[in-house]
Amino acid sequence: MNSPEIVTELPANILYTLGYRDWRPQDIKDVVEELDAVLVDVRILPSSRNKAFTKSALESLLVDRYRHLRPCGNENFKGTMGPDTVLVSDAACYEGVRALTRLGPVVLMCMCSDHASCHRNDVAKLVSGRDGLVVAHLYPPAVNIPSARAFQQRLDLA
Ligand SMILES: [Zn+2]
């Protein structure tokens, strides 16, 4: 954690999400390290035409701060989001994310820019609803210098 101010200004029990489409990999790494978090990839298939966002590239980038949780993938994902989310396994997704949130902050990651039309929002609700976590959606930083103010500007507390 680079800035202790962040801890004092934000609730402790936040479940974060981000959609990587508008992010640079290094900025994702920076924010995950800043939060001392684990990035949980909730794509049903952790692949991408952008080689920076394949499972192997993210594992190389984030090492033990990366997990792919296939149970949290959306069976109805067809390249664009449909209206109905069907998780591979609600129970296994919940248990997987919950186990990680007990160890520290978690950032749920999908591709979609807009969390409102992304199944990661459904995953966030599934976990936060039962465990009393506050959901916050992260946005790409305007500047690549972590600070409490920049952090809050790219945070949207749901
Ligand atoms: Zn998505």
Residues contacting 91, CB < 8 A, separation 6+: 71
Per-residue pLDDT of 49-94, as tens digits, reads: 999 999 999 999 999 999 999 999 999 876 555 568 899 999 999 9
Phi–psi pair at 155, nearest 5 degrees: -115, 135
Give pLDDT, residue 155.
Answer: 60
| Angle at 85 (CA atoms; ends 68, 31), nearest 5 degrees | 40
From the CA of 20, how far away is ligand 1's center (Å)?
A: 9
From the CA of 71, how far away is ligand 1's center (Å)?
A: 14
Tell me the C-alpha distance between 107 and 58, whole Å. 14
The model's confidence at residue 139, banded by pLDDT at 50, 70 and 90, is: confident
Per-residue pLDDT for 123 more than 80? Answer: yes
From the CA of 84, how far away is ligand 1's center (Å)?
A: 12
Per-residue pLDDT of 10-44, as tens digits, reads: 556 899 999 999 899 999 999 999 999 999 999 99
pTM to 2 decimals? 0.82
Tell me the C-alpha distance between 137 and 115, whole Å. 7
The model's confidence at residue 122, banded by pLDDT at 50, 70 and 90, is: very high
Per-residue pLDDT of 84-95, as tens digits, reads: 889 999 999 999
Per-residue pLDDT for 118 more than 50? Answer: yes
From the CA of 132, how far away is ligand 1's center (Å)?
A: 23
From the CA of 81, how far away is ligand 1's center (Å)?
A: 7
Give pLDDT, residue 152.
Answer: 52
Mean pLDDT of 94-101: 96
CATH superfamily of 11-152: Tetrapyrrole methylase, N-terminal domain (3.40.1010.10)
From the CA of 148, how far away is ligand 1's center (Å)?
A: 27
Higher pLDDT, 64 or 141: 64
Give pLDDT, residue 22.
Answer: 87
Q: Which two tokens stand for residue 158?
A: 């749901």
From the CA of 45, how far away is ligand 1's center (Å)?
A: 11
From the CA of 21, how far away is ligand 1's center (Å)?
A: 10
Per-residue pLDDT for 45 more than 90? Answer: yes
From the CA of 120, how far away is ligand 1's center (Å)?
A: 6
From the CA of 64, how far away is ligand 1's center (Å)?
A: 22
Going from N- to C-terminal start, the domains of the chain cover 11-152
From the CA of 8, how far away is ligand 1's center (Å)?
A: 30
Q: Which two tokens stand for residue 69?
A: 């949780």
